[in-house]
Structure 1
Amino acid sequence: MTEDRNFDETFIFLEPGADPDADRVVVDNGGSRAVFVWAPDGPAAARVAAELADGGVRLIELYRGFDLTAAAQVIEAVGGRAPVGVAGHLGTGPATGTRISRSATIYERPEADPGTDRVLRKHATGGWTAVVGAPDEAVARVAVELVDSGAELVEICGGAPLTTAAQVRAAVDGRVPVTLVGWPFESIDGAAAFKAAFQAGTA
């Protein structure tokens, strides 16, 4: 684990064989520091989340492979120190046990340039994860581009409206599943506080 653990938010992805100490990328989103981390399973993700919570992370979002068991492991490890959001399927999702090797996560930022505000993480298994920032009006277009490039799953950040995720689902026209991060009951207050701070420019 890197010694610099002071981040505003983190996205955690599941990827078999990942090393969460090495498989991570730090991104500066207009003054807000985010870290993207890939972990091999729920227990490893829980350890990462607990350490980041110790360092003061203010928001955690779970993507790419988390089921209820793995998400619960993270929530229990964090112990209420940060809100934890989980990507959930809108409508019909992939069948149980379906292996996603190429996924796209899109986070909504009004000032983002999707051409440059992107991370492409290639995995030893041959797959990849793309993480792209885009203004709301460009999210659906970016999703289609990523699906055209081979993404098998599109995940929309919890900071985007549900209506944006619905537009993405319509734009990809059933070619791949679409998820949107939601906030379980125990995380609602923390997520609302983070949103308020973000809108005030203090997140």
Structure 2
Amino acid sequence: MSKDRVIIYEEADADPRADVLVIDNEHGRTRVRAVPEPGQLAGLVRQLADEGADRFELCGGFGAVWQAEARRVLGEGTPVGAIYYGFESLASIASYKARFEAGEVLAEAFLIVHEGADPGSDRVVRHRDEGGRTTLVAVPDLAAAAEVAAEMAGELQLIELYGGRRPDDAEPVIRAAVDAGVPVGMSAF
């Protein structure tokens, strides 16, 4: 298991030097950072790796091109994952992308598996000036991730799952959310 993992997403006016959420316990540390534009990703991952980060996961908004860029910067020794969507989520993620690009007010959740996390207290909600929000929730395991997904699905347009070992780890979250029309993305390395 990673001892110092960083999750990175894009958010307008973000300060990439500031942690948005930190879970730090005997099982390791997970931090969430945001960059205001993708071009800042390479410098941030290099800096964080120099400070000891040993695993990175990138939001689905980055995709394969930025995942490859981060891998080039870090080399083969540091795992870099990115969020991808399975076939069951393709129609709804395409709809989400179109709605996002049209400026619609949307809400998404990032579910972050970190052993020992408490979804009640390890939670941050980021409200956007133009409306909408990103909710970051750390959960202790995949069963808790599925519970949180089921509870929140009615108010979300997107869920991303971080911290799985394999893409099929997302199965319980997918079952909890996709029937409600919420696309679920999962990390792939």
Same fold (TM over 0.5): yes
Alpha-carbon contact 1:53-1:81 (below 8 Å) kept: no
Instruction: Report deviation, 1:163.
Output: 4.2
**Residue equivalent to 2:175:** 170
Mean Cα deviation higher: 91-100 or 103-112: 91-100
Does residue 129 of structure 2 align to residue 124 of structure 1?
A: yes
In 2, the alpha carbon distance for the partners of 1:55 and 1:178 equals 31
- Specify which of 82, 88, 108 is matched with residue 86 of structure 1: 82
**Residue equivalent to 2:94:** 95
**Residue equivalent to 1:45:** 41
By percentage of residues, which structure has more helix? Answer: 2
Change (3 A) 1:40 1:154: same
- AA at the equivalent of 1:11: I
Alpha-carbon contact 1:10-1:59 (below 8 Å) kept: yes
Does residue 50 of structure 2 align to residue 54 of structure 1?
A: yes
Alpha-carbon contact 1:42-1:73 (below 8 Å) kept: no
**Residue equivalent to 1:107:** 112
Instruction: Report deviation, 1:48.
Output: 0.9
SS at match of 1:50: helix
* 1:10-25 superposed matches below 5 A: 10-22=6-18, 24-25=20-21
Q: What 5-or-longer segments of structure 1 have no aligned partner?
A: 1-6, 184-203
Alpha-carbon contact 1:42-1:71 (below 8 Å) kept: no
**Residue equivalent to 2:28:** 32
Alpha-carbon contact 1:107-1:160 (below 8 Å) kept: no
Alpha-carbon contact 1:109-1:136 (below 8 Å) kept: no
Change (3 A) 1:46 1:125: farther
Alpha-carbon contact 1:119-1:130 (below 8 Å) kept: yes
In 2, the alpha carbon distance for the partners of 1:102 and 1:64 equals 15
In 2, the alpha carbon distance for the partners of 1:61 and 1:137 equals 21
Q: What 5-or-longer segments of structure 2 have no aligned partner?
A: none
Does residue 154 of structure 2 align to residue 152 of structure 1?
A: no
**Residue equivalent to 1:139:** 145
Across the aligned residues of Structure 1 and Structure 2, the Cα RMSD in angstroms comes to 2.5
Does residue 182 of structure 2 align to residue 182 of structure 1?
A: no
Aligned length: 176
Alpha-carbon contact 1:153-1:178 (below 8 Å) kept: yes
In 2, the alpha carbon distance for the partners of 1:47 and 1:132 equals 26
